[in-house]
Amino acid sequence: MFKFEYQDPATFQSDYKNLKEGPASFKIVEVKDSDDNGYPLVSKAGNEMIKLKVSLIDQYNNRGNVYEYIVSNLAWKIHQLLASVNMPHLYTPQGFNPKALMGAQGMCEIKMQARPGFDPEPKIGKFLPFDVQRAAENHDQATQYAPLDDEIPF
C-alpha cells in the first residue's frame, strides 16, 4: 500500500486568479478568530472579526482559495453568510462560535476587485441564499470525478 500524508483537496494551493465572476460553490476550510497569541482578530477600525479561508469552484470549474473577513459590525454580512450555509439559527444577539462554520458549504457570487497597480482579484461579492437543489450539487460533489459516459450511440 502506498502511504502518504493525506490532505483535504479543498486545502490544496490553487491559482485563485483563474476564478471568473459569477456564481460559485464554496466550502469554508479554515476559521480564525484569534491571532497566534490568542488575542481576538480586529479590523483596522478596531472591530472584532473572523478570518475565513474559503475554497471556491466557479461555474467553469476553476478552483481557488480566497480569504474572507467577517467584521462584527457588519450584521447584514453575518446574516447573509449564516443563511447561505443553512445555519440561520446561529444568528442571535448572543453571537455564535465561529468554529461552527468549519466545513460549511454554500453558494456565493464572485466579483473581481480592482486595485491600483495590481491585477483584479476575485473576492466574494455576496453569499447567496441556501437552496436545497444547489446544496445537492454541493462543493464536495464538484471535487469528485464525473462518471464516464461510455454509451455508444447507434
Burial (CB count within 10 angstroms: exposed 0-12, middle 13-18, buried 19+), residue 98: buried
Local structure of 150: helix, strand or coil: coil
Range in 47-51, 62-66, 150-154 with the lowest mean pLDDT: 150-154
DSSP 89: G
First to last CA, the chain: 42
Asked if 31 contacts 50 with a C-beta cutoff of 8 angstroms, the reply is yes
Residue with cell 494551493: 13
pTM of whole model > 0.85?
no
CB 48 within 8 A of CB 95: no
11 touches 55 (CB < 8 A) = yes
- Separation between Cα atoms, residue 65 and residue 19, nearest integer Å: 9
| Average pLDDT score over residue span 21-32 | 95
User: What average pLDDT does the structure give for the chain?
Assistant: 84
- Report whether pLDDT(109) > 90: yes
pLDDT above 80 for 154: no
